[in-house]
Amino acid sequence: MTIIDQFIERYRKEYDYYLEVAKLCAQQCETSLKASGIRAIVTYRAKRIESLKNKVEGRNKTKKFQTVDEIYNDIIDFAGVRIALYFPSDRDEVNKHIVDGFLVLNTPKQFPGEVKDKEPSSYKKRFSGYWATHYRVRLKDENLHDSQKRYVEALIEIQVASVLMHAWSEVEHDLIYKPLAGDLSIEEHSILDELNGLVLSGEIALERLYEAIRRRVASDSRSFSNHYELASYLYENVAKAGDTEPVVGRVDILFYFLRAIKFDKPSKVKKYLEMLKTDQEPSPLVDQLMDSILIENGNFYEQLSEIKKKVGIANPYESIEIGSSFDENEYISALGKFMNQWITLEKNVRINYTKEFKIKKGIALTPLKVFEYFSRNDADHIHIERLNYIRRMRNEIVHGISKVSTAELLDAEQFLKNLNDTFLHEHDKTTIGQIYEPST
């Protein structure tokens, strides 16, 4: 049995393993992109045995493989995922999802580049060919269940291109690299080149379509039809508001939330985009928007929890590890008291300070900032650390990723109550003018 035969025999036994790896990767990509409002078709495959054998035999002519492991080290696409984008301009946002969601092992390979082909030297392309980005990744351990940990070492190739480019590349690849009736003629190469030109023109048309959709969605009086339209609106307005485009987050959650509270129009969302907190740690745009809305409208917390239940994201109640001593009614009561005190704190800050001082550009007036400014001693710094911890706890609860006990909620609620009753009424508000300019 030759080295190649040994390799194929081994791969035949591992085919299901690579198919499952590709499936897990594709599911993660599809879920993440859909939630962020990025339109794409995600497909996956494990390398077919016949196709793989032909590839290895071709590479062996120059590589001269000596062991099965040499072949495994040479082939990087046993498991593959394709992301076919409706709109090519979404590539940058997709890149963020891949970099954040997977362990990227190489600098993404950009096409067109130096690609070997089988075209005759007498034919010169007029168009640039295949446009795409290829990633070599592994699944992240923290995203896998215990039963899936065995897939963490597998290499996966993710290909990102437009739906049109993926279709053309399939035709071109099969005809040039897998010819069934000999090498292609000059005329056949010319036709493929012509089709490539039409595809590139089609991508330009897709970009124009994308811009037309953005302009239509931007109408203040029109409700967003779906979360894809909402995502388009957010991308457009955030791009205008800053130099860099932040991570967007779960636009589907935001869409259903806005619809539930009847804020699902550009005219309702616009003012909250203008309130983005640029001086705090980076967080998804969706989270910032929901936070801004909830600060002004504390009674919307219940709607948000209901939306998360329906969409399938863990809500604050479901995130608790329920044991024999867990009382759900007590937890819900404690959560309500905690959130009421937090809302009261934020309202106190706005009422006592925002109206009297013109906030400098790029500075957000927050309870933590006010507390930090008025700190006088080590005891105050301890309280600052406590408030910062509670702030993070509140954010994680709201966005459905925290496991907090009833006792922790009650303890935090008491701390906030004391803060509301004493701290904000003990200081001379005019001294804060050193940070915030007095209104004229």
Is residue 319 scored above 60 in pLDDT?
A: no
Per-residue pLDDT tens over the stretch 349-393: 777 766 555 555 445 567 777 666 666 566 566 777 788 888 878
Is residue 321 scored above 60 in pLDDT?
A: no
Per-residue pLDDT tens over the stretch 120-149: 446 678 888 899 999 999 999 988 888 899
Per-residue pLDDT tens over the stretch 57-111: 989 999 999 999 999 999 989 999 999 999 998 998 899 999 999 999 989 999 9
Is residue 17 scored above 90 in pLDDT?
A: yes
**pLDDT of 202:** 95
Query: With bands split at pLDDT 50, 70 and 90, how would you rate the model's confidence at 335?
Result: confident
> Cα-flanking dihedrals φ and ψ of residue 377, to 5°?
-150, -175
- What number is the average pLDDT over the span 179-190? 76
**pLDDT of 154:** 95
Across 299-312, b (16+ Cβ under 10 Å) vs e yields: ebbebbbebbeebe
Q: H or E segment at 98?
A: helix 91-101
Per-residue pLDDT tens over the stretch 270-304: 888 876 654 444 577 888 888 888 877 777 877 88
Across 233-252, b (16+ Cβ under 10 Å) vs e yields: bbbbbbeeeeeeebebbbbb
Q: H or E segment at 235?
A: helix 227-241
Query: With bands split at pLDDT 50, 70 and 90, how would you rate the model's confidence at 262?
Result: very high
**pLDDT of 365:** 65
- State how far the alpha carbon of 133 is from the alpha carbons of 112, 113, 206, 403, in Å: 9, 11, 18, 38
**Facing residues of 103 across strands?**
138
**pLDDT of 425:** 53
**pLDDT of 157:** 96
- What number is the average pLDDT over the span 30-35? 88
For residues 374 and 182, give the distance between their C-alpha atoms in angstroms, rounded to a whole number.
81
How many CB atoms are located within 10 Å of the residue 16 CB?
Answer: 10
Is residue 435 scored above 80 in pLDDT?
A: no
Per-residue pLDDT tens over the stretch 247-256: 778 888 899 9
**pLDDT of 180:** 55
- What number is the average pLDDT over the span 400-414? 77
**pLDDT of 242:** 54
Residues contacting 226, CB < 8 A, separation 6+: 255
Q: Is the peptide bond before 284 cis (omega within 30 degrees of 0)?
A: no
Is residue 438 scored above 50 in pLDDT?
A: no
Packing angle of the helix pair 266-273, 227-241 (nearest 10 deg):
40
**pLDDT of 155:** 95
**pLDDT of 35:** 83
Question: By mean pLDDT, which of 196-205, 236-245, 336-345, 397-406 is the weakest?
Answer: 236-245
**pLDDT of 86:** 94
What percent of the chain shows pLDDT beyond 90? 33
Contact status, residue 7 vs residue 74, Cβ threshold 8 Å: no
Better-predicted residue by pLDDT, 239 or 333: 333
Strand spans (E) along 48-145: 79-85, 102-104, 109-111, 132-139
Residues contacting 43, CB < 8 A, separation 6+: 26, 81, 82, 84
Tokens of 369: 């900032």
**pLDDT of 423:** 57
